[in-house]
Amino acid sequence: MAKIVLLSLPAYGHVNPQLPVVAELVRRGHSLTVFNEASFGPLIRRTGADFVAYPPVLSVADLARVLHDGDLMRWLALILGSSGPLLRGILPELRRNRPDLLLFDGVAVWGEMAATNLRLPSVSIATSFIFEVFRGLEGGGEFWRYMRSFWLLFPNLVAAWVRMNAAAGTRSLPWRMPLMPRQGTVVTLVLTSKAIHPKTPKLESPRFAFVGSSIERSTRSETFDFSRLDGRPLVYVSLGTLHFGNQGFFDRAMEALADLPVQVVLSAGRGNDLSRFAHAPANFIIAEAVPQLDILERSALFLTHAGLNSMHEALWFGVPMVAVPQQFEQLRNARSIEAAGAALVLDDQCYGRPVTTAALRKAVDAVMADPGYRDRARALGQSLREAGGYEEAADRIETALAGGPTTKPRLLSIKHAA
């Protein structure tokens, strides 16, 4: 039995796909301890893992706040600014109870730094695509927005870098590219398939293992009264757990779908004021949070922000999408499945333009009228299943524990989308 620590991120889109991996490693007899924000304790303990709360430095609310307007530079400043204090908070515990292997979220810069500082073998678990800075940028608009934001936030970024240096010393600072995910010393597990990931030389790099989608219902806790569903085609609407403050989008979605012969489940987001939805059309069911896997399994269409976890869960059940990304990372996610013919993308929000009711309705009508979208979503979902999922991830982690190579060939049923 090995002693393993996971340094996670306080975001449900990152935690949910990691929980099946944690549960599987516990089932195999390993001792798992997961660090995260205190509010995630009950969810993590359900897997059988031990839980340690981070110092109160970074929260779900913090991430939602900086991503409200889709500015990834503000998000980067928050992550870097939190890394020094988080590192100081966790290093004493890791020294007292030194693990055999350190796992960390691909965004958790402090995880990479802790592994370097303590000379621990490490495996990164990436719940997002590989971001290579200039590769795949959405034209000049994205580039100049990043540049403008970078210079505005430059003092914050420098201060964060200085604090990280003070916390761990220069030898622990994160230098390696790509920018995200931060890489493990042994391997980086990317929770997607090569068929879905945008083209990059990293697809064939032995440092990255594409293990598919990590999905297991028993790790989820949300409930829903399914007797409320009346048999009409189901459309699911959600902006995830970080962007639910975009009330204007929800209002336009309600207008667009009000007279369709469908039933709509709208997940408004944990903590959202449901009184804002008092004017919801009769064919809408509104909830703060729903069991997303169970809802998607019943859905004909997903109207989504295209967070990678949500996107994967839709593809897992072969559900086509209308994607309304709220920031450029999500736009890259959405473009990958649009290119494969499983979605239509409305990119207005990324460029500061509210998506219109008419555009939403047109896209929904187009996807629901063409069964080819569902067929192609099913094919992409099959590539996620064939890559192995949480069991494959656990296999790779056990191989890392044994000190052996973590890469091996795996055949996919479809070729990478052009």
Residue 97 has a pLDDT of 94
Residue 410 has a pLDDT of 39
- Give the helix/strand (H/E) hosting 58: none
> Which two three-digit tokens encode residue 91?
């290093």
- What is the rounded distance in angstroms from the CA atom of residue 133 to the CA atom of residue 144? 13
pLDDT tens-digit series, residues 157-171 = 667 666 666 666 555
> Which two three-digit tokens encode residue 111?
């995880």
- Which residue, 409, 410, 401, 18, is CA-closest to 186? 401
> Which two three-digit tokens encode residue 209?
């293992």
State the pTM of this model.
0.86
Q: Could you tell me whether strands 187-190 and 50-53 are parallel, antiparallel, or unpaired per DSSP bridges?
A: unpaired
Lowest mean pLDDT among 133-147, 186-200, 212-226, 252-266: 133-147
> Which two three-digit tokens encode residue 303?
């109207």
φ, ψ (nearest 5 deg) of residue 294: -70, -35
pLDDT tens-digit series, residues 348-366 = 988 888 999 999 999 999 9
Concatenated DSSP letters of 74-140: HHHHHHHHHHHHHHHHHHHHHHHT--SEEEEETT-HHHHHHHHHHT--EEEEE-S--B-TTTT--HH
Q: How confident is the model at residue 409 (pLDDT cuts 50, 70, 90)?
A: very low
What burial letters (b/e) apply to 101-139, b meaning 16+ CB within 10 Å? Answer: bbbbbbbbbbbbbbbbbbebbbbbbbbbbbbbeeebebe
Segment 91-112 mean pLDDT: 96
Residue 43, pLDDT > 80, answer: yes
Q: Could you tell me whether strands 50-53 and 101-105 are parallel, antiparallel, or unpaired per DSSP bridges?
A: unpaired
Residue 404 has a pLDDT of 57
pLDDT tens-digit series, residues 271-314 = 888 999 999 999 999 999 999 999 999 999 999 999 999 999 99
Are 14 and 105 within 8 A, CB to CB? yes
- Supply angle C-alpha 298, 299, 303, rounded to 5: 150
Residue 71, pLDDT > 70, answer: no
256 burial level (CB within 10 Å; 0-12, 13-18, 19+): buried
- Which residue, 302, 317, 289, 299, is CA-closest to 213? 317
